[in-house]
Structures are given as C-alpha cells and as structure tokens.
Amino acid sequence: MKIRNQRQINVYALFVGLLLICGCEAGNNKTHKQWVGEANDRWHEMRSGMMLQMATQQFETGDLDIAAKTINEAMRIDQKNDGLSLLAGRVSLEKGQLERAYHWFNHTVDLNDKNADAYYYRGVVQQRWKQYDEAELSYKQAYDSQRDNPSYLLALSEMIVQQDRVDEAAELLEGKLVYFDQVAGLRSTLGHIYRLKRDHNEAAWYFEKASMLDPENMKLIEEVAVSQISAKKYSKSIHTLDMLLRNESYKDRTDIKRLLAESYYQSGRYEQSRQAYLDLTRMREVKAGDWVKLGDIAWMKGDLGGSLTAATRVMKMDPERHDGYLLAGMVWQKRGELERALKNFDRAAELAPGDAVPCILRGISLQRTGRTSAAIAAYEEALRRKPRDERALKLLQTLVPTGY
C-alpha cells in the first residue's frame, strides 16, 4: 500500500513540475512566484483529494483510527477541503465522540454552506442529544440544499413526527409521492405514520405499495402482514404470511406462525387455525395464549374434553392468567358440576378485576343452585365492572324486576 501511494505521489509531483514549466511559458502577465504558488495550490488540492479517497476507503472498511490519521495528514496540506472536515466528523460520530463530531460538522458548514451532508450529520448528533427542534432545522437545511435526496426528506419527516405533528409529516411526504415515485422508503414511512394515526387501512395500502417497489425486502412484507391484520384484512394477511413462511429466514419464526394462526381464526377458518395452534404447542416457544385459542376453538365445536385440556394447560403455564380458570369453569358448568364451576369463576374474577364475564357466569351457577341473593350480588358486581352490560342487566331483572 505504501509503495503504491508513493508512486501516485511521484506521478503527481511530475505533473506539477510540468505545470510549472508550461505555466511559466504560457504568459508574461504573472510572476514566477505567482505561477509557483498557484501550481502548489493545485498540487495540494489534488493530493488532499487523493488522501480523502484513501481515508474514505479506510472509514468504510472500519479502520477508523487509520482513517483519522490520514485525514489529519491531509488537513496539514489543505485546510479548506470541506470533504475532509465532513469525514473527520463522521469518524468522530462513529466513535461516539458527539461533541467533536458536532464541531467538525459545523466547521464543514463554515467551509461550504451548500454541503448537505454536513447539515444532515449535524442533525443526527442533535437527534441523539434529543435536541429535536435543532435536529429538525438541520435536516431541513440538508433537504433544502439537496432536494433530490429522499434520505434528507425522510429524516425531516421523522423529526416532525417526533414532535407530535403527525398530520404535517404525512402532508409533507404525500406531496412528494410523484417526485419520488420509485422510493419505497417514503411509502414505508407513510405506512408507519398512518399506523400511528390508527388508520390501518391506509397504513396497509402504503406498506403494500412500498413492498411492490422493494419486493426483496422481507421486513417490508412483514409490515404489510401486520397492517393487514390490524385492518382486519385477514384473507390478505393469510396470503402475505404464507409467503413469508416460505422464505428461508422466516420459516422458523414462531411469531409469524402465530399471526397466521390468528388470521385463520379471525377469518373463520377454525380447522386450519386449530392445526396452526397445535403446531405451535409442540414448539419450545409455546405460549399460554396458544392454548387459550385452542380452548376457544374446542368450545365452539362442542368439544368439552378438548376445552378442559386446553384450560388445564393454561392454568399450569400461567397461573396468574384468568382465561384458563374461566374456560374450566364453563366446562364444569356445562357438565352440571356447579361447585367446581364456581371455584374457577371466583378465581377468574379475582385475577381479572375489570372483567364482568366471570361474575355473570358465577351468578348463573349460583342461580341454578338456588342461591338467589348471592346470584343478585354477582350480577351487581358485573354491572359495577361494566355498567352497561346488557346480559348482566337482563339476568338481574329476572331476579329483581324493578330498579334496573
């Protein structure tokens, strides 16, 4: 490397010598000293440019200390090269030296106020310092300096969202959709913005458009699936998730398999959902919620044994979760074993103090055993938890016809 660099320097030195000879013969209006000075300036500019390229390569390969040394040597030759100053800031930023990086980026702006990267990286430092107003201004200056760079626009919109001006960010980006008609990142950012606005249909639409522009980006396809589920577009989410699971890097992702099982469930494809949840229960990453869903499906199919098995698994895996006790109580109530049902409903009501359902089911069991006063108290507790619950109101009115 050193031999090659020395050869390059020797070539440039020869070139400067030729410039001096030609320059001296080219005209009589400049003194020899002026020609020498201008030739030296050109030589310094060329040499610093060559060293900037070298330092950039060192930076990109992660040799930060070597890059910093090369930059320092180049700056001794050419102190007005804004590219060197910018790279010095980036090296400092990569090292986590934010104060030093901030100084270099400001210095770069002083050398060249049209250097968009200097504004952008200064914004990065300010963002890390949580100086969001200042970061927004820096990103805006970067974008104003180079309006055909979508990265600056996206950084600016991120800062606007950070300061809770979501509608303003959406308007800014949507105004540039035609100009940046092939930029997936712009549409992806709009997808996130509309997700924040809880407009899941619009979010899904933008993520789908982003994925069409960048079809190899699996993370984007994942965002599409999540948004489709939030928008209740389960037929679409099933297709998207199935496509994800065919990808080698996603085929073992249990969270994606769980989303597919839920999509089957929500779309009424219960047998496929049951099989998907059964597959999940055989995996190390099984969750109590997987058994809850299996219990729900078994209950809908009238499979009391399957429901009780699922409820027992839930209670064992997560004793503080009310779903298992509630489902077990429902099975025992259906079988006519009301005392066992009451025991489970009591525990479910204790674990879910804001849920009216355990109290309602408890009241039904009490009513069937002839304990009317206790049943009334259970229905009243249900209404305390959920004042407008129609089922609790109707059941209570059968026991206390007036006053409710």
Ranges 4-13, 25-34, 253-262: which has the least confidence: 4-13
pLDDT band at 107 (very low <50, low <70, confident <90, very high): very high
Q: Which pLDDT value is given to residue 3?
A: 44
First to last CA, the chain: 91
Whole-model pTM: value is 0.80
pLDDT band at 331 (very low <50, low <70, confident <90, very high): very high
Question: pLDDT per residue over 185-206, tens digit each?
Answer: 999 999 999 999 999 999 999 9
DSSP calls for 200-224: HHHHHHHHHHHHHHSTT-HHHHHHH
Measured between alpha carbons, how far is 345 from 349 in angstroms, rounded to an integer?
Answer: 6
- Token pair for 141: 């200056």
Question: pLDDT per residue over 131-172, tens digit each?
Answer: 999 999 999 999 999 999 999 999 999 999 999 999 999 999
Q: Which pLDDT value is given to residue 41?
A: 54
Over residues 386-404, mean pLDDT:
87
Q: Which pLDDT value is given to residue 79?
A: 86
| Residue 149 CA from chain centroid, whole number | 22
Q: What is the rounded average pLDDT for all residues in the chain?
A: 90
Q: Is the model's pLDDT at 39 over the cut of 70?
A: no
Q: What contacts 353, CB < 8 A, 6 or more positions away? A: 385
| CA distance readout (Å), 228 to 64, 207, 218, 239 | 44, 9, 15, 10
| CA distance readout (Å), 21 to 9, 18, 28, 342 | 19, 5, 13, 106
Q: Which pLDDT value is given to residue 15?
A: 47
Q: Which pLDDT value is given to residue 234?
A: 98
Measured between alpha carbons, how far is 336 from 52 in angstroms, rounded to an integer?
Answer: 84
- Single-letter residue type at 65: D
Q: Which pLDDT value is given to residue 4?
A: 46
Over residues 107-132, mean pLDDT:
97
Question: In percent, how much of the chain has pLDDT > 90?
Answer: 82
Query: Is the Cβ–Cβ distance between 242 and 260 less than 8 Å?
Result: yes
DSSP calls for 57-120: HHHHTT-HHHHHHHHHHHHHH-TT-HHHHHHHHHHHHHTT-HHHHHHHHHHHHHH-TT-HHHHH
List the domain boundaries for the chain.
1-25+33-79, 353-404
Measured between alpha carbons, how far is 158 from 165 in angstroms, rounded to an integer?
Answer: 10
Q: What contacts 44, CB < 8 A, 6 or more positions away? A: 77, 78
CA angle 322, 326, 327 (to 5 degrees): 120
